[in-house]
Every structure is written in structure tokens, then in C-alpha cells.
Structure 1
């Protein structure tokens, strides 16, 4: 396990609660963030896929980062998603994260134009790094099923050579452990932090020299993820991984964002958590009950919100 990673450990891909008018509810988001940090999370991946970031506008993303810090969420624990197709907007968001004190940012590749060349991606990330003065640690976001733009070992190698100390890590949401491990094998020796987006890979990734996880299921499974992390080289960690894998399977048995919001709504007794921006829609009553039964079969009892 990498022991000196900036974001080492369990990082939740934090949900973004919405009000009835579909505006972001910062008070609820801060409350959920506090709950996560008190229940196994080392860090918070805000404004990512699970956080509906690509349904949230530029000014709103800035307001989320500012609003969480204003509400007492430590900036040092936050890894905001700042990658959008427009270089200028990525720079604005990254500079805001730096201004607030976030150590690093998670940067999707420019995902609208398909099949970009490696040179094109290198140029994109170079522009972002140069225009932000290299002040933020850059973490790549490999999620080809959604972005259709992979982050390859070759691209990382080029960027690491060009921007040592700035290019710092990657979240792999491919679900392909062999791919995740390839990043560790090539770059962990250089301090490159590799995080899995699939909870079922956490234990084996830690044993291979990875840094931890950034996952959607951590919104409800962070306490178990923490057991895997703390016991990564012990039988307790391996046993906890079995439960964590079951949690992952449960939360992905339904539409992910609506399902997670339904589980949080049930745990908090707060139906406002069921609000989300289209095209996401809340689960039907039948689908929700099926999800609850599947999740409960994992044997996990969530701590109640304060």
C-alpha cells in the first residue's frame, strides 16, 4: 500500500443533494460530507460523476466548492472534479480549488470530441497545467464507458516526464483491475497515486501498492471500506472486502445515482434526498424496495446522521 499518498485511503464520490427546484442544497451536502468524514472517509471527491457534476453549471460548481468550505468542510480533504471540455472553464475551476486550499483536482479528459490523439490530450492537459501554474496536483479520471476518452499509460508517462510533481495520480473507473494495476506497476514508484473506482478491487489494489479508492458506494459503505483500508495486510481487511464487494454489487443493481440517493433518504429519513436533475429520475417504489432488500442483505447498518 502507498503510505504517503495525499489522498490515501477511502474517498467518497460525494452525492450532490438538490432542492425541490433542483438547485444545489449546500446545507445538506455539507451535512452529508461531515457524516462521511465521521464514518470512514479520509477524503471527499466532490463534483464527480456520482455528484451529477455534468448536470451542474460552472458558477454552481464554484458555489459548491466555496459553500462547502464556508460550512466547515476542510478543503484539504476535498478533491473537486474540475475537468470539462473547455480548457478555460477547467482552468477557472482548478484555480478556484487552489484558492480554497484543495491539494488536488480530478480532471476528466475533454470528452465531447471522440478519438482524440495522444498529442491532443497531452496538449489539453499541458494547457491546463501551464495556465494554472502547476499549483494544483492533477489527478486523471479514466472512465472510458462515460467519457469515451481513455487515459493511457503512454499519455501518463509523457505528462509525468513533462510535469513532475504536478501530475500526481489517477482514478480508474474502468472496472478492469488489470488496467488499474498497470498504472501502479508503471508509476507508483514515482509517487503516482492510483485509486480504484470499483470498490470490489480495493483490497487487491492496496496490496499491489495502490493508494485507495474514490467510489460512489462509499456514500453508504465508507465504514466498511475503512476496515478494508486499515486491515489491508490482515485477515480482517480481506473479510471486510467480502462485505464491501457485496455493497458494491447491491448499489449497482439499481440506477446508481437514484439508488444511492434513495438509500441516503431512507437512512436520514429525509425525502429531499430523492431530488435529482433530469435525465436522472428517482426510483419507482418497487425498484426502491428491491434495492433496500438487496442492500440490507449485506448485513450493514448505517450510522444515523447527526
Structure 2
């Protein structure tokens, strides 16, 4: 897809934390800059992998402002601003717009389960009207986590009712047929479909999708960049194989602490293991297993990071 605002590889960025569990913008900004220098076209900050829903409203604003103050381009970031309520969602979206972000990622209102498409349409209509434009809105389809999927009829209804407001979707359903159906139905109108799984990057690009927004890009973005640049051929195929293998390695243990472990070992920075409850650090056995899995995938050492040191 040409002219996609976030076309390419977007990491669902980990949120660094200090020992007291407060956000650590210095460490996070350094990681974000490394990602942009090693295969990422953009950054999905404050999403699921970034533990956004473990942070309060003011903390989320401070994290975004802290990254920008430390030189991470606002235009490269797609912050997650969807919450379980209307007013906070609008507030965070307006804040992102004021900081210079070009787009935001919106979870559905996820606390009440099994809402009707009419109810979801009414919610997003209210969000769109209150935001009033000036920033692209992307839907976040992650039914395993939110328990509230986006149906194709709902997306079609929103696109027709609010031309230009809903720019695309991150589909983390893991259902490639669903992603392809979105591309087939809406890509011709400029609707950007991003895979939430690395294993589908090469396929979704070939089908007319815009790219990916993925957790494992915290460590495998170098190979994602190759796939996006080359698309086809032996080099792209080999890079896609690394993406698929690292995705499977990342999900072989609890995802977020597992990725923190990979970055901690790759940088020698134990601070990356700090995580907010209810998430927990990996057990020693899990830590060894995920490190071995990333090594078997051919992804270690991570390009551009200091040689791995022994884990603490």
C-alpha cells in the first residue's frame, strides 16, 4: 500500500520502568531510537506490550511527552489512546494530537462484554465527533484481550459515516483470513491494515496491507526492515523466516516479560526486567528457555546492541 501513514514495521514498544515502577522515559527513549535506527518505520507506544492499561491517565501523557522531549519524533509514534471509557479516550487522543502525533490506536470500550455493533458504532461516533479531526484513528482488533472484536460491517459503517476519520486497523486476532478480508474490503479506499503478528508481514504486504505493529519487533525489527524493503526474493524470505521463528520464541513464555528478558540480556541492563503487576518477571527456567529460543531463531546478538552479557 502506497502512502500509508505508518507503512512498514512498527514496534509495539516496551515501556521502561524504574525500580519504584514509575515510567523511565530516558531508558525507553534510547530503546525507541535504537528501534528507528534498526528496521522500524514507526513506533506503537502505550499499547498492550507497553502495558498502557497498567498506567494512569497522567502517567500515559507524561510517557509520551517524555519521549518527545528526548528526541523521539512525535510523527513516528502511534500511541494507544483507547480506554474503557469515552472521556479518557478522547482526552488521550486530543493530547496525542497536541503533541504532534499523526495517528492513535483505539481499543474498543472493553469492560462491558458482547456490545452490539450499534453500541460500538455509537461509541466511536462519539469519539470521532468529540476529537473533531486532525489525527488519524486506527482501530485495535485484539479480541483475545479485549473480548470485543471489530466486525467488517461495523468497519464499513464507520468508514461510510465518517470519511477519512478511521484510517486503518491493527489486527491482532491471529486470523489471517480476517486480515485479508479487511484488505480485500477496504484497502482500495486507502484503509491501512497492519498485522499484529510478525509471521504474516510478508503475506500481508503482498496482499496490499500496510505492514505490521508487533511486540517481537522490539528485538527482530532488523529482519522486519529487510522484509519491508525487499518484499520478495531469497533475502526477504530468509528474513521472514527469522520473523516467524522469533514470534514463536517470544510467545513460548509470557510475552511481555519474555521480551524484557531479551532486551535486558542483549543490553546488559537489568532494569528492563522491571515490570508492573499483575505481570511478573520470568522464572530462571523461563528466562533461559526464551533466550535459547531467540538464539535458535538466529536473532542473537541483536544488531546494533552491545554484546550479550550474563544474565543477573
The alpha carbon displacement at 1:299 in A equals 1.3
Task: Give aligned pairs, total.
Answer: 305
- TM-score normalised by structure 2 residue count: 0.96
8 A Cα contact 1:10 1:213, kept in partner: yes
Q: Which residue of 1 aligns with 2:286?
A: 287
Q: Residues 164-183 of structure 1: matches in 2 within 5 Å?
A: 164-183=163-182
8 A Cα contact 2:195 2:213, kept in partner: yes
CA distance in 2, matches of 1:176, 1:40: 25
CA distance in 1, matches of 2:30, 2:238: 30
Across the aligned residues of Structure 1 and Structure 2, the Cα RMSD in angstroms comes to 0.9
8 A Cα contact 1:268 1:304, kept in partner: no
- State the SS of the aligned residue for 2:43: strand
Q: Deviations over 1:17-61 (max 9, x none)?
A: 111100010101101000100110000000000000110110000
CA distance in 2, matches of 1:273, 1:170: 29
Structure 2: tracts of 5 or more residues without a match: 307-312
Q: Does 1:203 align with 2:199?
A: no
8 A Cα contact 2:170 2:194, kept in partner: yes
The alpha carbon displacement at 1:96 in A equals 0.6
CA distance in 1, matches of 2:134, 2:192: 17
Q: Which residue of 1 aligns with 2:7?
A: 8
CA distance in 2, matches of 1:273, 1:55: 16
Q: Does 1:302 align with 2:310?
A: no
**Structure 1 runs of 4+ with >3 Å offset:** none
Q: Deviations over 1:200-228 (max 9, x none)?
A: 01111000000000000000000011111
- State the SS of the aligned residue for 1:281: coil
- TM-score normalised by structure 1 residue count: 0.98
Structure 1: tracts of 5 or more residues without a match: none
The alpha carbon displacement at 1:242 in A equals 1.1
Q: Deviations over 1:169-196 (max 9, x none)?
A: 0000000100111100000000000000
Q: Residues 52-201 of structure 1: matches in 2 within 5 Å?
A: 52-201=51-200
CA distance in 1, matches of 2:103, 2:72: 15
CA distance in 1, matches of 2:270, 2:39: 24
